Amino acid sequence: MHAKAWPQDRSPHLAQPSHHAKLVSMTRFSKSTQKEPTSPGRWVLQDAKARFSELVRRVRSEGPQHVTVHGRDAVVVVSAEEFRRLEGERTGDSLIAAMQASPARDIDIEPKREAMPVRGIEL
């Protein structure tokens, strides 16, 4: 039995696997080496991962940066200062303000205090 030559209408990766592997490798390499984000402040996830230090630098110098997955916004990277500003300070003031604004603010919620018996102690 001898090897048959593949007709031209067959898949090229079956006829010449080494050329196909090089083409795929080159295609993947060219996609991951973009010099700039897709548009200002927008990053494809693969580029954001590969160039994380630059992403962080741009967050600090240019502001929030959007990272996309499959063309859709997935996350927005913000500086620690911006995150703290958006999160707000955790002082309890918002809880106090909400309770004071409640229509049921006049209800007495003081706990009933009673002396508890002490057991097991002999004098």
How would you write the pLDDT of the chain (123 residues) with one tens digit per residue? 555 555 555 545 545 555 555 554 444 444 444 555 568 899 999 999 999 999 999 999 999 999 999 999 999 999 999 999 998 877 788 788 888 888 887 777 777 888 888 777 666
Q: Which helix (H) or strand (E) holds 122?
A: none
Following CA atoms 18, 22, 24, 25 in sequence, which dihedral angle do they give, to the nearest 10 degrees?
A: 130
Q: How far is CA 29 from the centre of its chain?
A: 24
- What pLDDT is recorded for position 65? 97
Domains, the chain: 38-99 (3.40.1620.10)
